[in-house]
């Protein structure tokens, strides 16, 4: 606490004494493992409301790219931090969405940490977020073995001290890690390495039949991994129980999506409903009602599917607390679709927002800044991030298009359409 307060005081003093004193210097001095992408001073970056993070996921060495989130919701690419690990690309092909996943990089506001997968090194890297300047990351310890191969998605518990990885390669399944910021350690949690028994390869083969995303249930009692089907066989949601000591049940419960569901992809908790909103690359979206026991292995109760007519592959999702709606992205149509659920979890399409032909909208996240919600969408085929202002239900407005390629080139950072992946936001408490 004391440290935080004195840092605040110092930065305020700094701001008042120095801000007008000198013009901004070009700051493309790259220290080891860090690449500066902005001329903004650290004083200016200290004014940020938070940060958004995504991964370069390059086989030659992956970086977490951090953009400052301004008080107006706009992004400023600020710095890239090496994960000390390698990215990779699933097979076949070399197009966008290398990992067939959501959650390859994940921030926790409560833990003030960011975790990232190194899909080509079979490790994960966990960073401490600088509470003053959240674009500034410091690795906690060293990268740790992911407990399998081709790690591609991460979940962080509510307390922000346990990270679970989803491995999608030949050795697949989940594995969890305890994060101790004071000790500076990331250590495997006993009895959490659990197989999905997928017949897979390293790197993973997909998208059909590949793992997708891992999340904690809202009450923290379950760990859920989604797996795409191999048409015509639907995929599953694999559900493990989490014990008091953090260990996972030996076996998972396999739940198929409701009839019509095929390729479960991202999962977003439906607040207060013990249910999950999942995208489904085969139809649009699946609603998974965890209150109901599956009927012959198929989700039941209020579980259902949403047919998004004309969809290509709807794969990524997030929830806006302000509008109360879900926002999904489609890599095929490059559209954002806003979906509302009624009290009975029945979904309907509110509105669709085209983001530009062929930009390939993938990972996204939503953050609340001063009571306003903003959506950050990675558009790797244009090496851009699209920022939308979620003004009201049915009213999402284009706010900003952020170029990644130019600042990356200036900073000597390798980025490519086929490798960029992930999006997660952190807002200062």
Ligand X SMILES: *[C@@H]1O[C@H](CO)[C@@H](O)[C@H](O)[C@H]1NC(C)=O
Using DSSP bridges, classify how beta strands 421-427 and 395-403 pair: parallel, antiparallel or unpaired: unpaired
Nearer to ligand X, 91 or 307 (CB): 307
Nearer to ligand X, 16 or 370 (CB): 370
Nearer to ligand X, 123 or 330 (CB): 330
φ and ψ at residue 210, rounded to 5 degrees = -100, 155
Nearest distance in Å: CB 252, ligand X: 19
Nearest distance in Å: CB 381, ligand X: 4
Nearer to ligand X, 171 or 186 (CB): 171
Find the radius of gyration of the CA atoms of the chain.
Answer: 20
Element housing 3 (H / E):
helix 2-18
Nearest distance in Å: CB 287, ligand X: 15
Nearest distance in Å: CB 39, ligand X: 4
φ and ψ at residue 13, rounded to 5 degrees = -60, -45
Closest Cα to residue 46, out of 133, 130, 112, 109? 133
Nearest distance in Å: CB 186, ligand X: 26
Element housing 16 (H / E):
helix 2-18
Q: Is the dihedral of CA 31, 34, 35, 41 positive or negative?
A: negative
Nearer to ligand X, 161 or 368 (CB): 368
Nearest distance in Å: CB 307, ligand X: 4
Measured in whole angstroms, the distance separating CA 242 from the mean position of its chain's CA atoms is 22
* Residues making contact with ligand X (CB under 6 A): 26, 38-39, 95-96, 199, 260, 283, 307, 309, 321, 331, 358, 360, 368, 381, 407, 410
Element housing 411 (H / E):
helix 405-411
How many Cβ atoms from other residues are within 10 Å of residue 105's Cβ?
Answer: 27
Secondary structure class of 293 (helix, strand, coil)? coil
């Amino acid at each position: 606490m004391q440290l935080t307060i004195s840092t605040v005081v110092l930065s305020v003093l700094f701001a008042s004494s120095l801000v007008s004193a000198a013009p901004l210097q070009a700051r493309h001095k790259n220290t080891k493992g860090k690449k500066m992408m902005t001329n903004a001073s650290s004083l200016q970056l200290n004014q940020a409301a938070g940060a958004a993070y995504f991964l370069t996921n390059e086989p030659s060495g992956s970086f977490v790219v951090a953009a400052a989130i301004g008080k107006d919701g706009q992004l400023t690419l600020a710095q890239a931090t090496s994960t000390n690990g390698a990215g990779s690309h699933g097979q076949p092909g070399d197009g966008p969405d290398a990992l067939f996943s959501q959650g390859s990089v994940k921030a926790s506001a409560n833990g003030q940490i960011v975790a990232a997968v190194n899909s080509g090194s079979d490790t994960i890297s966990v960073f401490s977020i600088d509470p003053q300047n959240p674009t500034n990351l410091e690795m906690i310890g060293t990268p740790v073995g992911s407990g399998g191969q081709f790690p591609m998605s991460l979940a962080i518990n509510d307390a922000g001290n346990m990270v679970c990885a989803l491995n999608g390669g030949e050795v697949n399944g989940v594995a969890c890690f305890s994060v101790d910021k004071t000790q500076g350690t990331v250590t495997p949690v006993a009895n959490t390495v659990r197989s999905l028994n997928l017949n897979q390869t390293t790197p993973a083969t997909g998208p059909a039949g590949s793992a997708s995303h891992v999340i904690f249930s809202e009450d923290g009692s379950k760990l859920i991994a989604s797996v795409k089907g191999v048409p015509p066989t639907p995929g599953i949601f694999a559900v493990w129980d989490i014990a008091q000591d953090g260990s996972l049940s030996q076996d998972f419960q396999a739940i198929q999506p409701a009839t019509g569901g095929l390729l479960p992809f991202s999962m977003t908790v439906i607040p207060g409903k013990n249910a999950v909103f999942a995208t489904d690359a085969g139809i649009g979206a699946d609603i998974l009602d965890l209150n109901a026991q599956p009927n012959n292995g198929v989700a039941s109760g209020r579980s259902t599917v949403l047919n998004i007519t004309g969809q290509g592959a709807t794969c990524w999702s997030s929830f806006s607390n302000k509008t109360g709606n879900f926002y999904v992205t489609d890599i095929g149509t490059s559209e954002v679709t806003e979906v509302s659920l009624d009290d009975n979890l029945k979904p309907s399409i509110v509105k669709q927002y085209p983001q530009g032909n062929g930009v390939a909208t993938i990972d996204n996240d939503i953050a609340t800044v001063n009571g306003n919600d903003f959506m950050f969408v990675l558009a790797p085929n244009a090496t851009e991030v699209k920022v939308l202002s979620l003004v009201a239900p049915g009213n999402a407005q284009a706010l900003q298009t952020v170029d990644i390629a130019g600042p990356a080139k200036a900073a000597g950072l390798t980025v490519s359409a086929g490798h960029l992946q992930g999006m997660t936001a952190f807002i200062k408490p």
